[in-house]
Amino acid sequence: LFDTLGPCLSLTRQASSSFLRTAPAAIQPHDPRDSLRQDCSVPGAGSVLPALMKPSLLLLSHLCLFSLMPPLWASDSAQGASSLTCWYDSRAALFCDWDPGRDLAEAPCQLEILSKKGFCDSFLELYPSPEKRKKHCKLPKADHMTGLRRCIKTFNQNVNNQCFTISDSLSLSVHCHTGENKTKIPEQIKNFNPFENIKLRPPGDLHLANITENTSNLTWSLNISSHYLDGMREYQVRYRHMSQSWEEAVNLPIEQDQMWVNFERLSSNSKYEAAVRARPSARSPYKGMWSDWSKPVLWRTHADRKGTAQPILPVLIVSTFIFVIIGTAFLINLRTLK
């Protein structure tokens, strides 16, 4: 730090001493002839230029120090940076990912969830007790691949229980024990609206029907999804020939809440793979992101019937021709014997 600030400090001392040396002259009686001599002087005479350089030297020293301050501010503000991201599955579960940084990657931490209205187990109470307005979720150690600490909090044993509505607001905060009787709150979200942060669970029960040589029909379902989202969901379907990668897959947007799609122009007698994901529709009052992709489903199209029927005709023709020849030869031999 001294090596960095040394030139600026030296410049500041030089400017200050120069200013102090010129200060007595500033309070001396003014002689009108001095003004005339200064106005008529030229830079080479050595009277005007030094007088201008002394205040400028002081200004430059301050600018030098000021230019070093932004990097110092930036380094201070970047210390201990972390992020907390939470998503609601629209029913009874909350998924949270927290980036703890290096300092708190293995510290004992938990997520504290506060609700003024209480949770699923206290809906029948008009004024829930403070204990029933608070839930906790233990944060395991950071994943060695992503560096994140994930918490999954299910508020009811029935995963299809509707625990929150659009009017609910939660307060989320991470609490870590850093020593004896010491607790640190490195991250918090004060106003978390579950229905503005929806991430549905992946679709399931993928099933292929009406499979032909070139077409197939795919259906699926959402086993866990709020009734508030009925008619307000959209989907994305991707499918590929098994010779292709997922990057080369065809993506089909389904902008209405229909849980089926028809594949066309498929190759006959070929193996395909498909997957589906879902989210709240962009036209709905609810907000969220895409779910994870479903488990892929595999199927094979039927063989081309026309292609398999074509070799039969030549065989029939040849067989008939051989039968005629053999029959004719038999009749000729029979007449010869008579």
Q: What is the CATH number of the domain that holds 286?
A: 2.60.40.10
In tens, the pLDDT along 2-41 reads: 444 454 445 445 544 444 444 444 334 444 444 434 443 3
Is the overall model pTM greater than 0.85, yes or no? no
Domain that holds residue 137: 83-198
> How many domains does one find in the chain?
3
The pLDDT of residue 328 is 80
Taking residues 128-154, report their average pLDDT: 91
Considering the domain architecture, whether residues 229 and 245 belong to the same structural domain is answered as yes
Considering the domain architecture, whether residues 55 and 91 belong to the same structural domain is answered as no
Considering the domain architecture, whether residues 92 and 175 belong to the same structural domain is answered as yes
Last residue of a domain, one of 198, 221, 240: 198
> Mean pLDDT of all residues in the chain?
79
Strand positions, DSSP E, the chain: 83-88, 93-99, 109-115, 134-139, 149-154, 170-179, 182-192, 198-199, 204-209, 216-221, 233-241, 250-254, 260-263, 271-280, 288-289, 297-300
Residue 245 belongs to a domain: yes
Does residue 233 carry a pLDDT above 60?
yes
The tokens of 88 are what? 């609601």
Residues 6+ apart with CB under 8 A from 38: 47, 48
Considering the domain architecture, whether residues 265 and 294 belong to the same structural domain is answered as yes
